[in-house]
Chains A and B, each alone.
Chain A
Amino acid sequence: MKSDVLIIGGGIQGSATAYYLARHGVSVVVLEKDYVARHASGVNAGGVRLLGRDLAEVPLSKASMQMWQTLDEELGHETGFRAQSIVNIASDEKDMQALRSRQEIMRAEGHDHERIIDQSELRDLLPHVSPECVGGVTSSLDGYAIPYKATVAFRRAAERLGAVFCEGEELVGLRRVGETWLGQGRHQRFEADTVVNCAGAWADQIALMIGDNVPLSHAAPMLMITARMPHFAKPVVGAVSRQLSFKQFENGTVLIGGGAKGFADRARNATRLDYKKLAAAARTTAEFFPIMRSAAINRMWAGLEAYMPDNLPVIGPAVNADRAFHAFGFSAHGFQMGPIVGQTMADLVLKGQSRYALGAFRVDRFDRKVL
């Protein structure tokens, strides 16, 4: 199969890249070894979060947040996006101090989307919060979406523009011969001028085929979701210094995250849960929100996610090959960045540059530190 661009990985980054390329009339083939949105892109917590981002990511994240506001119309399919403020709760004065220091830095950089709130405003926003919590920080630009739907929305929009998605097709070999990339799948061969590596937890293997070596690791962030509860919390909830994270969806179910990690078994395409850590997350949730004690947990799961040592993604050109690009290693906060990453990758493929500073995301940023 021949195309201008071959994208490896049918997650949100790969699907969004396919969409923005196809919109420019580029022919695109996406290889997905399982099915689209099978892993991290389909099973994450769905946070569309700008609050608390690493400074290096803030410009991209802000631009992406703008794109999410109108993404449903843009793609012609529902992503499940809802604008919803996020509140990170401060348990004590030390947390408040940390928030004030961050705010000074953010202001100096010209970012003013985060706002510190006191205890009474916290209780207005979250009437069921434990009375011991002293305040927090909120961002009104944030929201959430339904991960599987959002990823599939990009896929369907891309397909409408002619992109081809090959599911159940694993890339087992990739070589550059002259000006052409030759890809060998389990079932078919592929030819393209350009390759884009969006292979998530498997991206280091693809990077190696391209010629780049990256220190990528894997983990399985765990989530649990409750049966429907009467609505009690509108904002998405986090905590400044504790592993607390949950949101109540419009349908009443409550998704509990918190960052606790299970075991990633990449070779078997599987994850294992760490129940003691989930129990700790349950205790933290009940401590901050006593109303959650009687919540009924319906499902628990984990997704396979890729992490870089600095928790920042790789976004940019390959360093050891021409006409190859990377977008992976989002370290459990890439879902929100999907739209802007798709657009950025399209810019890199088509124009060789992006309007955003991508220095912090270079694929070789760890090479230089090794003697």
Chain B
Amino acid sequence: MQSFDCAIIGTGPAGMSAALRLSELGATVAVLDRAPSPGGQIYRAVAQSPLATPDKLGADYLSGADLVSAFSKSNVAWMPGADVWHLGDDGRIFYSQDNRTQELQCRQMLICPGAMERPMPIPGWTLPGVMTAGSAQVMLKSDAMAISDAIFAGSGPLLYLIVAQYLRLGIPIAGVVDTTPRQNYVAALPMLASALRQVGMLFKGLGLLREIQKSKVPFYRFATDLEVVGTDHAQGLRFQQDGASYELSGDAVLLHHGVVPNLNLARSIGLDHVFEPDQLAWRVKTSPFGQTSCPHIWVAGDGAGIVGANGAKHAGELAALGIGCELGLLDDVGRDQLAEAPRKASAGQSGFRRFIDRLYQPAPDLMLPTRDDTIVCRCEEQSLWDLRQGFQSGARDPNALKSLTRCGMGPCQGRQCGHIVSGLLAKWREEPVADVGYYRLRSPLRLLTLEELARLQDGESAR
């Protein structure tokens, strides 16, 4: 079995910058990602874009190429296509690569699971043709594929960025339906002063909005009561705006209202989590260096609380320094000296982050379903009504509700319904989400064929 000082899971900005720093410090580093090339979601395929004009995606995207290139030249053991299915608190990692079940051992483990889009459980969100706005960007980056005449609905910087990218690429858009609640502008105002320290970021955001407003794409603000129109596939979106009803036709509906940490990797190890009230999401509990409740396991980047691409890069460096110190490659003083720059940089961004978090806090009625027949668990097709029945039968805990209704038992392992179920139970129990808890998760981290598991044996996997 291969053995490393540190194994890093994920090659977004956090994973790549941590890998670079750790290998500089002299650690043996394995880096695993199921993707064929490094970059994570944010810098996906940046080194070999299939687009004729990748510059239309913006300078932030292209800037990832430097990090990817440095990473590719480094001497880490990069394992592309390594599809991890088990992370153990004993430092053991099981993964499949090229149809073989592999196993490696590490002294320290750094998990960089990144973020995923917060599900938006509105009526009709399971219809074909309803996707996330982030998926539109993923498809552009990796396969140069676009959806024409789609309706973009929701709120937040990523939504506006994707719309702007579509506009620049000349892809027709049926409309943009903004759900940022009016009161968010008021609530975010006190945070504006400290956000001004990142005035460049602020202007970037305003620039995107201007790009959208200048275009001829229909743009609606303060929309509520969203509902997908269509019987066997999405044909449009119905919504309310200031008491009036609107119905917009489109070939697809692309939803987005912010991102949440991708929880399953850290949850499967049983790491302590906290519910972050500013971001309305669970995150792994970490020290400033990313150390978790299990001292040799570290989490960096959006997985430990949404920080964005630059924040993730700094968090990756900090984690690498913490790990380097544990490995004896540098002492406390050296660690703290090197940590000063990334620490300062991430502290400088926190004011802006708080402002954005508050301004684009999702509307409560879009985070939790309001109509009885709205599906919560996409895999097992459990609706709000089904879950309420389960709760009324005495299932007060997310795991009890799961056992009773099968909500969260399907292939996505609660990735889509987890936050919704915690939120619903908190509402019904009239208790904080933090007290309600979350699903207990275990390996495998994804569907694992019996044959893949069967191949795990002392002889073969060590080969």
On A, residues with C-beta under 8 Å from B are 35-38, 42-43, 148-149, 152, 155-156, 167, 226-227, 270, 273, 275-276, 278-280, 282-283, 285-286, 292-301
Contact = CB atoms under 8 A, between A and B. Distances in A.
Given A156-B393, A296-B448, A273 B411 contact: no
A296 B449 CA distance: 4
Given A270-B270, A296-B447, A152 B456 contact: no
Contact of B411 (A149, A278, A298): A298
B410 A35 contact: no
A221 to B, nearest CB: 15
Given A275-B94, A276-B456, A294-B450, A227 B270 contact: no
Contacts of A226: 450
B403 A37 contact: yes
Given A149-B404, A275-B86, A275-B456, A298 B410 contact: yes
Chain B contact-residue range equals 20 to 34
Interface string B394-426: 111101100110000111010000000000000
Q: Which of A226, A275, A283 counts the most chain B CB atoms within 10 A? A: A275
Nearest to B440: A301
**B-side binding surface: helix, strand, loop or mixed?**
loop
A301 B443 CA distance: 8
A38 B411 CA distance: 22
B442 interface: yes
Given A295-B449, A297-B447, A286 B394 contact: no
B448 to A, nearest CB: 5
Nearest to A34: B397
B43 to A, nearest CB: 30
Contacts of A293: 449-451, 454
Contacts of B456: 275-276, 279
B267 to A, nearest CB: 13
A226 B452 CA distance: 13
A299 B393 contact: no
B403 A282 contact: no
A304 B329 CA distance: 41
Contact of A148 (B270, B404, B449, B451): B404
Contacts of A286: 450-451, 454
Q: Which of A36, A270, A297 counts the most chain B CB atoms within 10 A? A: A297
Interface of B: 86, 94, 270, 393-397, 399-400, 403-404, 409-411, 413, 442-444, 447-451, 453-458
A303 to B, nearest CB: 12
A301 to B, nearest CB: 6
Contacts of B443: 273, 275, 300
Contacts of A36: 394, 400
Nearest to A151: B403
A270 B270 CA distance: 10
Nearest to B103: A275
Contacts of B458: 276
A301 B268 CA distance: 11
A235 B458 CA distance: 33
B457 A276 contact: yes
Given A148-B403, A298-B410, A35 B396 contact: yes
A279 B460 CA distance: 12
A297 B447 CA distance: 6
Contacts of B413: 298-299
22 contacts: A35-B396, A35-B397, A38-B400, A152-B394, A156-B393, A273-B442, A275-B86, A276-B458, A282-B450, A282-B453, A283-B454, A285-B450, A286-B454, A292-B450, A294-B450, A296-B448, A296-B449, A297-B447, A297-B453, A298-B409, A298-B444, A299-B413
Contact of B453 (A37, A152, A278): A278
B450 A295 contact: yes
Q: Which of B270, B443, B454 counts the most chain A CB atoms within 10 A? A: B454
Contacts of A285: 450
A282 B400 contact: no
B289 to A, nearest CB: 25
A295 B410 CA distance: 14
A223 B57 CA distance: 47
Contacts of A148: 400, 403-404
Q: Which of B444, B453, B458 counts the most chain A CB atoms within 10 A? A: B453
A279 B444 contact: no
Nearest to A299: B442
A276 to B, nearest CB: 7
B394 A297 contact: no
B394 A156 contact: yes
A227 B94 CA distance: 20
A281 B443 CA distance: 16
Given A283-B457, A292-B450, 16 more contacts: A35-B396, A37-B403, A42-B403, A152-B404, A156-B394, A227-B410, A276-B456, A282-B454, A286-B454, A295-B450, A297-B447, A297-B448, A298-B410, A298-B447, A299-B413, A301-B442
Nearest to A287: B454
A42 B411 CA distance: 21
Nearest to A292: B450
Nearest to A280: B457
Contacts of A227: 410-411, 447
A156 B442 CA distance: 29
Nearest to B270: A270
B32 to A, nearest CB: 17
A294 B451 contact: yes
Q: Which of A35, A36, A298 counts the most chain B CB atoms within 10 A? A: A298
Contacts of A273: 442-443
B460 to A, nearest CB: 10
Given A275-B86, A286-B454, A155 B447 contact: no
Contact of B457 (A167, A279, A298): A279
A227 B444 CA distance: 12
Contacts of A279: 453-457
Contacts of A167: 396
Nearest to A270: B270
**A-B interface, 3 closest residue pairs, ranked by CB to CB distance from nearest:** A148-B403, A296-B447, A279-B456
A286 to B, nearest CB: 6
Q: Which of A35, A42, A278, A299 counts the most chain B CB atoms within 10 A? A: A299
Q: Which of B411, B413, B444, B458 counts the most chain A CB atoms within 10 A? A: B444
A297 to B, nearest CB: 5
B26 to A, nearest CB: 31
A33 to B, nearest CB: 13
A295 B453 CA distance: 11
Contacts of B399: 38
Given A295-B449, A296-B448, A152 B442 contact: no
Nearest to A42: B403
Given A152-B404, A273-B442, A297 B393 contact: no
Contacts of B86: 275
A37 B400 contact: yes
A297 B403 contact: no
Nearest to B457: A279
A155 B395 CA distance: 12
Nearest to A279: B456
Nearest to A296: B447
Q: Which of A42, A282, A294 counts the most chain B CB atoms within 10 A? A: A282
Contacts of A283: 454, 457
Contacts of B411: 227, 296, 298
